[in-house]
Each structure stands twice: as structure tokens, then as C-alpha cells.
Copies of this chain bind each other. A is one copy, B any other.
Amino acid sequence: VTPRSGLTLGMDLGGTRVKAGAVSPDGAIVARRVEAVGDVRDEEAIVARLAGLAAALDPGGAAPIGVAAAGVVDQREGTLRQSPNFPSWRDFALAARLAAATGRRVTLENDANAVIFGEVIAGAGRGERCVFGYTLGTGVGGAIVLDGELWRGSRGMAGELGHVTVVRGPDARPCGCGNRGCLEQYAGAVGLRATLAGSGRPLADLAGDPDAPARLARLAEQGDERALAIYADLGVHLGVAAAAMVHALDVTTIILAGGIAYAAGLFVPAMEAEIRARTFVSMSEGLSVRAGTLGEDAGIVGAAMAASSGDATLHREG
């Protein structure tokens, strides 16, 4: 079966919504749909929902599907080993099940990998071949693109950049992973709230606000010095972690995606200064830190592009 007109379907499967799109070979979304996920325990209903989205976006066609989901993904097997959004699923063969339901080729990708790959193909990293990126949401994820391809690791677990230690010692914040001092505890929304909670009033009052990152950003943009300092501190921690990756990987580009990235102007200068202070001039010169440009579309585009790239393992029907 040949995909019609070169389209690939990208599906960003979250815990509450699935965002789907038909993506052209250059990474443009030419049609889109968003639906509620429904009961996260009901594998069968979710596979049927994804199949329905494919039929709606590409009626009668055979465009392959790329699905992105949070958690530990075995990309070669097309299984979701475990996922924070679907806690009852274990080693769920999502790609094979969706291939059987649709007659289409299906590939599965980790969501942070999809977001950063999408930005590399069609967004802030277009044209770059050596990139790593952070997804700054509630927590911090990451992904690595080397020579134009996602580096997924020996077991599909590479790119866990949010759990790199950036603070040691007794004051290091505990992390849900069991470690202390992880980047995620300083540079995601969770980290920002912890910094706020420890910062005295009136800012400490923001810590419990679900909209804290955006409200803090507004304060910073209005010139509030403590708000500015909190975002700069977030940038410093990101810079410490990023410098280690620059030393290891010698990339040309660092991409910042996810919910907090819209405030990049408030923390990228401190991040860049920290990278410069910690790396050789020959490494930091020519290195570019960029906020993602695809926003919420990045996962759709990246899931589709990973499915259509040469190194993806596509599962066929049956």
C-alpha cells in the first residue's frame, strides 16, 4: 500500500486529549483533529479512537501513523512499556494493535523525542543535524538528535535530561525518581513552584497557583526584580545541565519546548551565560539556544516525521 500523496498521520496521545494531524513530507499539518481520550484504562476503546482519527484524517487512504506518548517506549517493538498517563498499561503493544485495527503501518515514539524531532524537522531546529532539547512542562524531559536521527539509546531510554543532577548536598531538592537535585526540580513548573514556595511573600503565595509560571512571567515582564531573579535562576540550572551535554555531544543547537518555553526570553540569557562560563569557547561559539516554534503542534509533527524517517520501525497490520 502506498501512502496517498505522501502524508503521514501524527498523533500526540496525552492523558486527557489526543491531538492528531495529517502531516505533509515537509512537516506542515494539513488537517487536524482533537478528541478526549476517555477512560485511560480502556486500551481497546483508545485504539479504536485512534483508528477513528486516522479514518477521519485520511478517509480511505493508507497514510502511515506515528503515535507519541509519555513514558518508556520500546520504539523497535512498538510497545509502551509504562506510562504516567496510562498507569494500568504494561508493555502494551500499541503499534501492533493500531496497525491491526487500521491496516496502516504504525510507529510509536516517546513524546519528548517526538516534540524535539518535530522542532528539528519543521520548527526551531530546521536544517540542524546535531541537537538536544528540553521539554519544559510540569517536569523536564529531553531528546537528542545526532546526525539528523533521534538517538533513542540501547533500550529506548536515552534523553532523560530532566534527571541529570544539578544540585548536590543536603539542600538538594528530592525528586519523584528517588534521587535528589535533579534538573526537573529546578527547571520545570514543579521546580518553579518549589522556588516560589521558598521565596517569601508575596511570591510564595503564587506557589499553589496552577497558573504560577505564567503569572510569574507577567510579573517579570513588568520588571519585578524577584520574579526576574527566579527565572534567571531557572536559566542557570538549565545552563549547568546543558553545559554537560554540550561537552559530551558537541551539538550546534539546543531547543527549548513545552509549556514554560514561551517565557524563554526570561531565562535563556542566564542559561547561555552559564553555558559559556562552563564550556570551551570553541564549543560555545556557534552554539544556538532557541525556543521551539511549533508549540502544541510539535508532538504531532514529530510523531509523524519519526514514522516517515528512515530509522523508524513501522508495524504492519496483522
Q: Give the interface segment out of A16-24, A40-48, A99-107, A156-164.
A: A156-164
Q: Does A88 contact B (CB under 8 A)?
A: no
Residues of A within 8 A of B (CB): 72, 129-130, 132, 142, 144, 146, 151-161, 163-169, 177-179, 240-241, 243-245, 247-252, 277-280, 282-283, 286
Chain B residue numbers with a CB within 8 Å of A154 are 129-130, 250-252
Q: Report yes or no: B283 in contact with A248, Cβ–Cβ below 8 A.
A: no
Q: Which residue in chain B gives the minimum CB-CB distance to A241?
A: B244
13 contacts between A and B (CB under 8 A): A130-B153, A132-B248, A142-B248, A154-B251, A154-B252, A157-B283, A158-B248, A160-B248, A164-B244, A165-B243, A165-B244, A165-B278, A177-B280
Q: Report yes or no: B165 in contact with A240, Cβ–Cβ below 8 A.
A: yes
Chain B residue numbers with a CB within 8 Å of A243 are 164-165
Chain B residue numbers with a CB within 8 Å of A159 are 248, 250
A251 to B157, CA, bound (A): 9
Chain B residue numbers with a CB within 8 Å of A241 are 244
A155 to B246, CA, bound (A): 11
How far apart are A147's CB and chain B's nearest CB, in angstroms?
Answer: 9
Most chain-B CB neighbours within 10 Å: which of A165, A168, A241, A243? A165
Q: Report yes or no: B160 in contact with A283, Cβ–Cβ below 8 A.
A: yes
Q: Report yes or no: A168 in contact with B167, Cβ–Cβ below 8 A.
A: yes
Q: Which residue in chain B gives the minimum CB-CB distance to A81?
A: B282
Q: Which residue in chain B gives the minimum CB-CB distance to A72?
A: B282
